[in-house]
Amino acid sequence: MQRTPLYQAHEALGARIVDFAGWAMPIQYPSGINHEHLAVRQDVGVFDVSHMGELRVRGADATAFLRWSTLNDAGKLRVGRGQYSMLPNDQGGLVDDLYLYRDADDDFLVVANAGNVDVVDGHLRRLSEGFDVVIEDESERWALIAIQGPGAALLLERLSSSDLAAVRKNQTVDVHIGGCPVRLARTGYTGEDGFEAFIAPADAVAVWDLVVEAGAAPCGLGARDTLRLEAGFPLYGHELGPDTNPLATPFAWVVKDKPFFGREAMWGVEPDKRLVGLRLDGRGIARQGYEVIDERGTPLGEVTSGTLSPLTREAIAMAWVRSNHAEPGSVLQVLIRGQAVRSTVVVPPFYGR
């Protein structure tokens, strides 16, 4: 398994380490997932997400290339800003979901999921034929930590002696923490205010330690998953995949009306299934792979993620279901160990903001 520069810091904190996409990552620390989850909702937590991959895309045609190869409009992305996007295949589905940062007019950093970096790299290289672009895998050059929660900005202002109030969502800013250069991007995957911090691997432990000493709760991948699910964010491999049309999801806003690779297979196709949020009305917890049925037992779809919300204590899930049962308020049944449990289609996030 690959290790991030923070592996030993996680061990020292007593983390439980698991294999995630070939990386030895903390799933939780001794205080537990619920505690970590609530720390982020109510105060501030810090996550090691250095397993994410970074690809540099630069050259005279970089903007045109990314407008063609990704679903959001990289041409609308300003220098010093980030943008959530997706990488389509030619089958109406997705290769991965991504974050794009524009560092200069002709220079972008693409952040991809850990298990998908090589696939994304290869896919982009194949599509780049005829474009004046250079693609480089910079994953080894970056440690990435996410500081998330209502207390994140104040904590980072103290550590960096910077005013972050003017930094807008998806904007990046260069600061120093403990003498180490850090690029902060005001974004995250928790539904809270927060920042993702790009750090040189050699500086990662110093910055992590300062953030933890300043009061951020170390949080593992377990809390990262419950937080993103409660916020209604998708995870590639669960809600999104090679066969999922993003236009049939709550994230259809990402897909901009412009020419892009694979458009014929995706655009204007009437989807027979839709991605929805579910709140379970009966007892039980829906998990990935559980079947969704109607009252007569007719199959309607499948759960892609599910948990008990640590904040609301309700069982929540996301599922792909037949389009004629996807309206908010529709009553469906989730099959849990042979028992049909009544569930209602709701629009995420699953908690009041």
Partner 1 sequence: MHTPDSLRFVRSHEWASAPDDGVVTVGISDFAQDQLGDVVFVELPDVGRQVAAGEAIAVVESVKTASDIYAPLAGEVVAVNEALEDAPETINTEPYEGGWLFKLRVEDPAAWDGLLDAAGYEAVAEAD
Burial (0-12, 13-18, 19+ Cβ within 10 Å), 143: buried
Residue 25 touches partner 1, criterion: CB under 8 A: no
* Whether 290 contacts 329, CB under 8 Å: no
Stretch that binds partner 1, among 47-55, 89-97, 233-241, 279-287 (CB under 8 A): 279-287
In angstroms, give the least distance from the CB of 236 to partner 1: 18
In angstroms, give the least distance from the CB of 224 to partner 1: 12
> Distance between CA 216 and CA 227 in Å, rounded?
16
Residue 287 touches partner 1, criterion: CB under 8 A: yes
Stretch that binds partner 1, among 110-118, 126-134, 250-258, 281-289 (CB under 8 A): 281-289
Residue 337 touches partner 1, criterion: CB under 8 A: yes
Q: Of 50, 85, 226, 304, which one interacts with partner 1 (CB under 8 A)? A: 226
> Distance between CA 235 and CA 303 in Å, rounded?
13
**What's the one-letter identity of residue 148?**
Q
Q: Of 9, 15, 33, 98, which one interacts with partner 1 (CB under 8 A)? A: 33
* Whether 244 contacts 271, CB under 8 Å: no
Stretch that binds partner 1, among 185-193, 200-208, 303-311, 343-351 (CB under 8 A): 303-311
**What's the one-letter identity of residue 190?**
T
Residue 26 touches partner 1, criterion: CB under 8 A: no
Measured in residues, the chain has a length of 353
Q: Of 27, 95, 135, 164, which one interacts with partner 1 (CB under 8 A)? A: 27
Q: How many residues bind partner 1 (CB under 8 A)?
A: 18
Q: Of 17, 21, 154, 308, which one interacts with partner 1 (CB under 8 A)? A: 308
Q: Which is nearer to partner 1, 96 or 225 (CB)?
A: 225
Instruction: For the chain, list the strands marked E by DSSP.
Output: 16-20, 23-28, 45-48, 53-58, 82-88, 94-104, 107-112, 134-137, 143-148, 172-177, 180-185, 194-199, 217-219, 273-280, 291-293, 299-308, 315-322, 331-336, 339-346
In angstroms, give the least distance from the CB of 33 to partner 1: 4
**What's the one-letter identity of residue 312?**
T
In angstroms, give the least distance from the CB of 34 to partner 1: 5
Residue 45 touches partner 1, criterion: CB under 8 A: no
33: closest CA among 228, 184, 187, 201? 228
Q: Which is nearer to partner 1, 126 or 283 (CB)?
A: 283
- Residue ranges in contact with partner 1 by CB under 8 A: 16, 27-28, 32-34, 222, 225-226, 283-285, 287, 307-308, 310, 315, 337
